[in-house]
Amino acid sequence: GFIVSKDGKIVTNLHVIRDMKTANVLVANGDVFDSVAVLAIDERRDLAIVKVAGFDLPVLELGNSDVLAVGEQLVIIGSPRGLKGTVTAGILSSVRDSGGGFKVLQTDASVNPGNSGGPLVNNKAEAIGVVSFTLRPAEGLNFAIPINYVRGLLNTIHDPISLEQMRES
């Protein structure tokens, strides 16, 4: 996931946290947060907003996924297979309609297990997507959820609930 507010709101994929009983968050500076609360989920788009008890945290600014250009250079930042701080580069291959007006961003930037929930970043260092899935066994067919869906989800935040309460609802 990635931090989107100085007070500890983090965006990730729902499939990353769905079956967790507990979680902790390790941020780039080495700080660890042992308590994670769920603020919002979007089942259809595989998104979740969680929160840690932080303040003045480093934030990744959100871009605008409605003004992307096919061919635009992008990077993915994550920890595939536990390799922290891995960056892969590619382009925006396509903006696809996956049905029902739900769009996904297709990129050829390499995605591996552990990249899910991480940011797809443009050349202005803005998150423009949330890395979500890859089509296997093909290579270079990787997909992210457009960041503007996250903007909408940030406007539907509810009172914090635990991971266990989220699984029960």
Residues involved in catalysis: 15, 46, 116
Omega before 137 within 30 of 0, i.e. cis: yes
Cα–Cα dist 58/5, whole Å:
8
- Integer Cα distance of 66 and 9 in angstroms: 23
Task: Report d(CA 147, CA 135) in Å as an integer.
Answer: 20
Decide: 132 and 144 in contact? Cβ < 8 Å. Answer: yes
Question: What backbone phi and psi angles, to 5 degrees, belong to 93?
Answer: -80, -35
Phi/psi of residue 82, each to 5°?
A: 80, 5
Tell the burial category of 114 from Cβ atoms under 10 Å away from its Cβ (0-12, 13-18, 19+). Answer: middle
